[in-house]
Amino acid sequence: MLEMRKENSSNALNAKELYETCGMAIAVRILGGRWKPGIIWHLGNGRIRYGHLKSLIPNISERMLVQQLKELEKYGFVERFAFPEVPPRVEYALTEEGKTLLPIVRSLAAWGDTQRDKIKLPV
């Protein structure tokens, strides 16, 4: 079952208002979270199978991987290709829209790399 949001909480309302006025908040909402950066990064190299993607992202659980892929798919940034085989084979790829993320993702990554030795993130 999909996890429900409380659509009328202050939390949710605040988020909504932000997205209406701040493009950066939208971008960070899409890219944010623990795992999406890695997923998008790897998908930037081309179409890739579910299991392979999982192996490329250390520690990610199946629950998280599926959940994030679904979200990205829902927004139209990722496309899913399922083959009618047993055992199943499923491939994921960035859509054309998803590929517009790549330049940003790459500049984020480059900037982040410059910070690694400068700052100490809590945890």
Partner DNA sequence: TTCAATTCTTACTGTTTAGTAAGCAATTAA
Partner DNA sequence: TTAATTGCTTACTAAACAGTAAGAATTGAA
Interatomic CA distance for residues 34 and 37, integer angstroms: 7
Q: Which of 22, 26, 27, 66 binds DNA (CB under 7 A)?
A: 66
Instruction: Pick between residue 79 and residue 102 the one whose CB is nearest to DNA.
Output: 79
Interatomic CA distance for residues 67 and 40, integer angstroms: 14
Candidates 38-46, 48-56, 95-103, 104-112: pick the segment binding DNA (CB under 7 A): 48-56
Of 34, 45, 35, 29, the closest CA to residue 94 belongs to 45
Candidates 19-27, 86-94, 99-107, 109-117: pick the segment binding DNA (CB under 7 A): 86-94
Instruction: Pick between residue 33 and residue 44 the one whose CB is nearest to DNA.
Output: 33
If one asks whether residue 47 binds DNA (CB under 7 A), the answer comes out as no
Instruction: Annotate 61-94 with DSSP letters as a single string.
Output: -HHHHHHHHHHHHHTTSEEEEEE--SS-EEEEEE
Instruction: Pick between residue 84 and residue 111 the one whose CB is nearest to a copy of itself.
Output: 111
Interatomic CA distance for residues 64 and 72, integer angstroms: 12
In DSSP terms, 53 is beta-bridged to none
If one asks whether residue 34 binds DNA (CB under 7 A), the answer comes out as yes
> Which residues here bind DNA, judged by CB under 7 A?
1, 3-6, 9-12, 14-15, 33-35, 49-51, 54, 59-64, 66, 70, 80, 82, 86-90, 123
